[in-house]
Structure 1
Amino acid sequence: MATLLTESQLDIAGHPYSVSIVKVGYCVPQPDGSFRADGTVTLVEGPGRRILVDTGGPWDRDFLVTKLRERGLEPGHVDLVVGTHGHSDHIGNLGLFQAATIVVGCDISEGDKYIPNQLGEGHPYHIDEHVSIVPTPGHTGHDVSVEVRGTSEGTVLVAGDLFECCSDEGSWQKLSENPVVQNSNRQRALRTADVIVPGHGLPFRIHKH
């Protein structure tokens, strides 16, 4: 069972890391069979480190800069940018963060230097004891999520499109490259996370039995 967080609960305090939803993503079907969509943008802040998970689409550029400035931040203040996967509504503004370490799927780079890792083999990449990048493929072959432990809500998983939204049963499969693998990763997330931040909707709290 899960319950949505409200718009007033989008800033999750924590020690040492907090999690703030900068923009809630959406996906809205259109009458002509197309759909309008944009990815959730999340800021994780801790001791001497700022992590942005997904950057929205390129049409979000000015919005994103404004939202960061409202928090007293410039793009150059962001240390790590994680693109949960390579779709344009999730990594459309990577160019704003040229000073940051960049993670997209299983690639980790500092400028033009690529860092060895084992995300592609199913192993997490630990930022520190509180924050990890974890492989959660299915939607695409190289999706990742960001796990933040020790917040006021417990463990928060910023999940990209592992979950489209809280009530996505019956809809996520048609967007998945590998529904079997994705479902396995979804079930693991539901067991390990207390709050999930999906790619296209409000965060939701998991009530474990």
Structure 2
Amino acid sequence: MEACSGSARFRLSETQLDFPGQPYSVSVLKVGYCIPQDDGSFRADGTISLVTGPKVILVDTGGPWDQDFLLQSLKDRGLDPGQVQVVVGTHGHSDHIGNLNLFGSALTVVGWDVSDGDRYQPNRLAEGQVFTVDQHVSIIPTPGHTGQDVSVQVTGTSAGTVLIAGDLFECCADEKSWRDLSLNPEMQEVSRQRALVTADVIIPGHGPPFQVVRSR
């Protein structure tokens, strides 16, 4: 557990990767990781999450090396790429958007760009405004890790409000690591504190989901 400005973060069971709900459920298809190597490099892959309900929404696609895994994970759930209606890349790093090419028919959101094929839609993400998918799913600007990070907020799950946060949070206990990876730590700190006020569960970019418990 790690306390943080009136809230506490608790690591959930590593087997708790599904959050059923009405009308939307959230599932973590792959838990991301970041593992330092002896030669100074690190092995990393981003968390891949699926939101199912009135729309099928994929949040982050993993790296190109995840293609077979991703296709099989969708197939296991009775889905093919053409049934995914919205794909969100929380930011433009290769371990988060490496398989966008599989979802050419989906509405695509990467950072502050919203496109349907080659048609880019006006939006106000750059002004700090939410992009609404529907009344239960919103894409929220959460910059800091990069200049145009977004997170996906899903309400009404069994665990409350779930925030699929990309690299806004690296993992549950990331206080010693996230600043070193941040383009703008001050901006990211603001985004993190807002998330800790509104979310009940956060799905980070490189670790399992964790619960947020706020003090009264």
Same fold (TM over 0.5): yes
1:12 is aligned to 2:14? no
Q: Which runs of 5+ in 2 are unaligned?
A: 1-7
Shift of 1:2: 1.5
1:78 is aligned to 2:84? yes
After the TM superposition, which residues 102-121 of structure 1 pair with which residues of structure 2 at under 5 Å, given as runs? 102-121=108-127
Q: Output the amino acid matched with 1:158.
A: I
Q: Output the amino acid matched with 1:2.
A: R
Q: Output the amino acid matched with 2:39.
A: D
Shift of 1:202: 0.3
1:134 is aligned to 2:140? yes
2:38 is matched with: 31
Q: Output the amino acid matched with 1:68.
A: L
Shift of 1:170: 1.6
Shift of 1:118: 0.3
* CA displacement, residues 42-63 of structure 1 (integer Å, 9 cap, x when unaligned): 000112x100000000000001
Whole-angstrom CA distance in 1 between matches of 2:91 and 2:154: 18
Q: Which runs of 5+ in 1 are unaligned?
A: none
1:197 is matched with: 203
Q: TM-score, length-normalised on structure 1?
A: 0.98
Number of aligned positions between the proteins: 208
Shift of 1:164: 0.3
Shift of 1:7: 3.2
Structure 1 counterpart SS, 2:95: helix
Percentage identity across paired residues of the two chains: 66
Whole-angstrom CA distance in 2 between matches of 1:80 and 1:187: 27
1:175 is aligned to 2:186? no
Match of 2:66 among 60, 64, 81: 60
Q: TM-score, length-normalised on structure 2?
A: 0.95
* CA displacement, residues 51-108 of structure 1 (integer Å, 9 cap, x when unaligned): 0000000000001000100001001110000000000000000000011010000000
1:123 is matched with: 129
